[in-house]
A and B are shown apart, each in its own frame.
Chain A
Amino acid sequence: MWKTYLRQIRYLLKENKFFSLVYILGTALSITMIMLILITYYINTANIGVEDKRDRMFFFTRAYVVKPGTDATGDKFYDGLQSSSPVGHKLIEKYMYPLKTPEAKSLVVNMQSVVYNKTKQVNEEMSAISTDADFWKMFSMRFLAGGPFSDVDVKSNARKVVIDESTARALFGKTDVVNYPIDIDWKEYRVCGVVEDVPSYLSDAYAHLWLPYTTATSRFFRGGNNDLRDIQGPAKMYLLGYERSDQELIRQEMEHQIQKLNAPAKKSHFTLNHQPDTALESLFRMSSDPYDKIYTRMQVVLVVIIVLLILPALNLSGLIVARMKKRGEEIGVRKAFGASVWNIMGQLFLENFVQMLIGGIIGLCLSCGLFQLVRNTLLVSYRTAGNDLSVKGVDVLNFFHIINFSTICYVILICFLLNLISTLLPAWRYARISIVEALNRR
């Protein structure tokens, strides 16, 4: 039975080359678009590479200063909003480090540092992260030599630095360089560890240098009044929960801490605006929006995906109707010789599904090609935009790390959905057509 159907599908594909081409390419393009969205989503939110705890990592990235009593939702939020910026390191030190709910809490400042390359005798600008000892609990970096700086090192302003393999090779020609001196921002540091390169698409962990933030606070200075200087600054905070579900508990504890900060007499209050965020939420958080806008943006993306799915399905549906008109006689003959409505519908579904599957496979290949083509652009998230990229980091991103069994299943599911949407109505309509009418359609 299947063999006969497949033989017929092959014949129809060969007979209606233009139709088949449009149909298959249409499917392939929509699959490609959806795959690229899935890939972007996956790169930014899944547990991959050294960022293998993203599912229980939470982000506190913005400090919102508002008039007292401002609700963090809806349009009224804008009336009360005075300013928003990254977080001040003093706020984190004083109010967030004491948090007990998270497993780890890390202050992070992304910056560009100037490193003196003695071999080339030039200063080179490099991506750096000023952070603390808990940073190394957040990510699974692999040390090639030495180890991370400790809490004691951070508290004692020890000028220690962890560098990546590329930097070690560029500066010293080897990776076994623990205790080697290195000039960063015209100060001498000592290498305490060398890690494998971190790909730039892992934007939360990515840098070439990681140094204790206490050695770089002079660069954190910010103008404005004293209240704001403590609250706002260049930092952000990563919080690692024990469980994915710890987000709300952490938020509650943070809110409790904030109450200590917001004295009733102050004219400006600080609000978390529903932080900390999950990795996905942090992607959709813009600088000065109320938190419910995050969900509006997510809904917009979801609608775009659905439209990407439905629009081609509607076009394909039109193509199917055109082809059904040509095949009315066949449907009549099949029904005359015993095919039921369900037999006809099943056949039409199968025929279109096979074509969609071909389109799906081509779509996968296209998205693979397109992915290689736009890889660099695609992988620079707004969080690292402007920083230098680790070329090796980009190179190690392999399409087939992302295209795994579950992705293939998604593609089949999407093909099935496209098929369902595009075939259902024409198939139902034509399968129920009167036999005499169908036979007379020539």
Chain B
Amino acid sequence: MTGLLVLLLMALALFGYWLGRRRGLALRRGTAIRIGTVHSLPVYHGLYVALVALLPALLVLAAWAVAGEAVIADRVIAAAPAASRPVSEIDRGAFMNDVRGLANGTLDAAFNPAATGVVPLYRTTRDGFELATGAVAAVLMAIGGAWAYSRLRPDFRARSQVEQMLQGLLVLASTVAILTTFGIVLSLLFESWRFFELVSPGEFLFGTHWSPQTAIRSDQIGSSGAFGAVPLFWGTIFIGAIIAMLVAVPLGLMAAIYLTQYADARVRRVLKPMLELLAGVPTVVYGFFAALVVAPAVRDFGVWLGISNASGESALAAGLVMGIMIIPFVSSMADDALMAVPADMRDGSYAMGATRSETVTRVLVPAALPGITGGVLLAVSRAIGETMIVVMAAGLAANLTINPFDSVTTVSAQIVALLTGDQEFDSAKTLSAFALGLVLFGITLLLNIYALSVVRKYREAYE
């Protein structure tokens, strides 16, 4: 419906463009005796009419897209029979979800039987409002178009007007990034706030018992599950910051050293794309490989070592594969850091008779250490946000253990587990996912800001 309306408006705008351009051409013919008497090209006349007609109409549609459903919900609930009217805010949302699902045909039967009776009302209300919005948009379009058309004269500065609107569009586009940031922060904060009304932040941040599965309804706080997230934080650090880095840092660093110090251009041309290929494999593929091949191998290895509780879903399997995935990232960061070390220092070391490896380990790496550290921190931030490998290979058991053969879970894996499946949106269980998201977002943000500042300071020191 809305899509059709937008297409219609676009078609009308195209018509406006054609009218304006024709007018522009006519103006040009009328004054063709002296060149330069028409300020703008016909194209700009056309664009001016089209834009002035289209923008207000699009604004109306956008406003409707944002606020429309709320208005309809108000109307429908107010008009519904008193007996079937939902009471609380939560019931209201569930009730309207039922009604919408039935009306759109995505739901076969409602959870709330009263919803079925309201469906025709919802349909007529929605259709009425949509028709009204469409009409308002069309009228605005006609008025805007006519006004713009009436302004077209030889001395009318259509190009300047169009360019100003385009500039506005550019600014608007650049605010999308800011809006996204705000959207993330606000939605995480808002939902986390609702979570912390149910569970105290102290319990969440310092509790050591995590079992959200028993929280059935939000009004049963006393008997609901436990939300102590420490096992999750530990699992995240254990897999992402310890095991994965034990794999990725030495391998990535050595790879970078070989590529920058030893390999000639021909070898680099072959090996570097190979590392990029490693970075381009989707994480779900790594996850599948970890679950299919690495996890059973790790379990067998654990059993062979005599560890009785070696699990088929282990921290080690997920961490190993994640480490491999991070190698290209560490290697490219270390590459940049090593390349930024002034050639004088390297040449000085060679002049003293040091071998290449002595130069690397005693001069280059210490000199590049801040840059490498920054790169490793960025890699950690990427590893702890990584989801699919952990979901598929590390499992969901919230264990507080340092046994790498045991299964642990991470923040990101829990977010997926908490939010997939059909459950009521406002329970503590689903809201806790947003609190976990907030922690994850905060930590990765801090890591990134700190790491980038380290890298930048280090670059400045050598420039």
Q: A and B, one complex?
A: no
Interface, chain A (partner B; CB < 8 A): none
